[in-house]
Amino acid sequence: MRVVIAGAGHAAGQVVASLQQHKFAGQVVLAGEEAYLPYQRPPLSKKFLAGEMDAERLYVKPASFYANAGTELLLETRITDIDRAAKCLRTDTGTEIEYDKLVLALGSRVRRLHIEGTELPRVHYLRSIDHVEGIRADLEPGRRLVIIGAGYIGLEVAAVARQAGLDVTVVEMADRVMSRVVSPEISDFYEIEHTNQGVKFRLSTGVTALGGKKRVKTVVTSAGEEIPADLVVIGAGIVPNTELASAAGLDVEDGIVVDDHCASSDPDIYAVGDCTLHPNAIYGRQLRLESVHNALEQAKTAAANICGQDTAYCQVPWFWSDQYDLKLQIAGLSAGYDEVVIRGDPAERSFSCLYLRDGRLIAVDAINTPRDFMQAKKLIADRAEIAAERLADAAVALKDLAV
């Protein structure tokens, strides 16, 4: 059997590793458009951006792993078409790659801003090693950096840049930071932390244009302000790469639709990672996630099923963000919560925020409290019902609250 993996990112690397673990005896082909072996992206806005990590350490596996596994690597190869009838992919280099089973691991791409000036030199997006190399070349102490978007990537860049001695301003359309993923309590905490580090914020503010001739010089806001800028980083979210799947007639909504076995609407085609819309039994709905944990677990699930197992994906989503000396770990999804509990003291910079719905724990945001994160994740998976007052008592371990 010949398995072809389209896209060579984090999930793709794990598909190869998991096929190996299952002693898959067929052929494996990995085709991706980037020039690099599959790599992990989280350090791109953290240690790698700060220059504290080499590119080789980003790789999911070294080159020798793929060679020893007999995996055929086609890097710098863009898939342009899936011919389902012929069970064949076409690439921008004119080659055709036949498959028995296809895994779409196409990830996502940055959401581009359609305003004047985004093509100017020193305007950056952040998704890939190449992007970071461009940003790092411009990241000089004393320069004025304007970040558009106060999501986790924007704030991680702000933390690295402040520590590198840049003057940092963050412009955000919403009225609070990280509003898509955390509650107002956590947003306030992070806004204060960044402000204490010298970051300036313009919240509830859009960007209408970037000004400059030879390079970016200003960021023009919806409030009419022209913020001086020596460089700009745009962190405006991502868009899942679904176009290939749509063109091939697969079911696509806000992601390539897969079942809990990671199979698409074509039983010979699986999809994994950021590009999928998948069912989650714990939350009883379809999710599209942008997280390493999801990419890895879906990759393991698809590989197991290709190898003849009957494996269903059922996971509590989790995620993390590093900013300064703060480790934020998020488990579960807080959307729709009706009660929120703060456990511990934010002033000590080690606390957690627990979210309940109808008396059940549905999510946690843990800041410098890995134990709360681990124990709450288990309670969320168990769909535990625990009274808010008990959760708030930091003297009692969360694991001891399970009934």
| Residue ranges binding ligand FAD (CB under 6 A) | 6-12, 31-34, 41-42, 44-45, 78-79, 105-108, 126-127, 153, 241, 244, 273-274, 290-293, 295, 319-321
Confirm if 147 and 139 have CB atoms less than 8 A apart. no
Phi, psi of 62 (to 5 degrees): -75, 165
Confirm if 264 and 104 have CB atoms less than 8 A apart. yes
Q: Nearer to ligand FAD by C-beta: 106 or 158?
A: 106
d(CA 256, CA 270): 9
Kindly state the smallest distance separating residue 392's Cβ from ligand FAD, in Å. 28
For strands 350-357 and 360-367, give the pairing. antiparallel
Confirm if 302 and 272 have CB atoms less than 8 A apart. yes
- Listed in sequence order, the DSSP H helices in 197-307 are 243-247, 292-306
Residue nearest to ligand FAD (CB): 9
Kindly state the smallest distance separating residue 128's Cβ from ligand FAD, in Å. 7
Kindly state the smallest distance separating residue 244's Cβ from ligand FAD, in Å. 6
Q: Nearer to ligand FAD by C-beta: 126 or 145?
A: 126
The residue type of 101 is K
Q: Nearer to ligand FAD by C-beta: 275 or 391?
A: 275
Q: Nearer to ligand FAD by C-beta: 152 or 220?
A: 152
Kindly state the smallest distance separating residue 67's Cβ from ligand FAD, in Å. 20
Q: Nearer to ligand FAD by C-beta: 6 or 379?
A: 6
Kindly state the smallest distance separating residue 124's Cβ from ligand FAD, in Å. 11
Kindly state the smallest distance separating residue 165's Cβ from ligand FAD, in Å. 21
d(CA 14, CA 8): 10
Using DSSP's 3-state secondary structure scheme, residue 56 falls into helix
Q: Nearer to ligand FAD by C-beta: 301 or 321?
A: 321
Kindly state the smallest distance separating residue 346's Cβ from ligand FAD, in Å. 22
**How far is CA 184 from each of CA 178, 257, 328, 353, 393, rounded to the nearest angstrom?**
9, 32, 15, 11, 21
Q: Nearer to ligand FAD by C-beta: 209 or 326?
A: 326
Selection from 345, 336, 232 nearest residue 287 by Cα: 336
Residues counted in the chain: 403
For strands 2-6 and 255-257, give the pairing. unpaired
d(CA 278, CA 240): 13
Q: Nearer to ligand FAD by C-beta: 28 or 356?
A: 28
What H or E segment, with its residue span, contains residue 82? strand 79-83
Kindly state the smallest distance separating residue 80's Cβ from ligand FAD, in Å. 7
Confirm if 316 and 31 have CB atoms less than 8 A apart. no
Kindly state the smallest distance separating residue 397's Cβ from ligand FAD, in Å. 25
137 burial type by CB count under 10 A (0-12 exposed, 13-18 middle, 19+ buried): exposed
Q: Nearer to ligand FAD by C-beta: 256 or 341?
A: 256
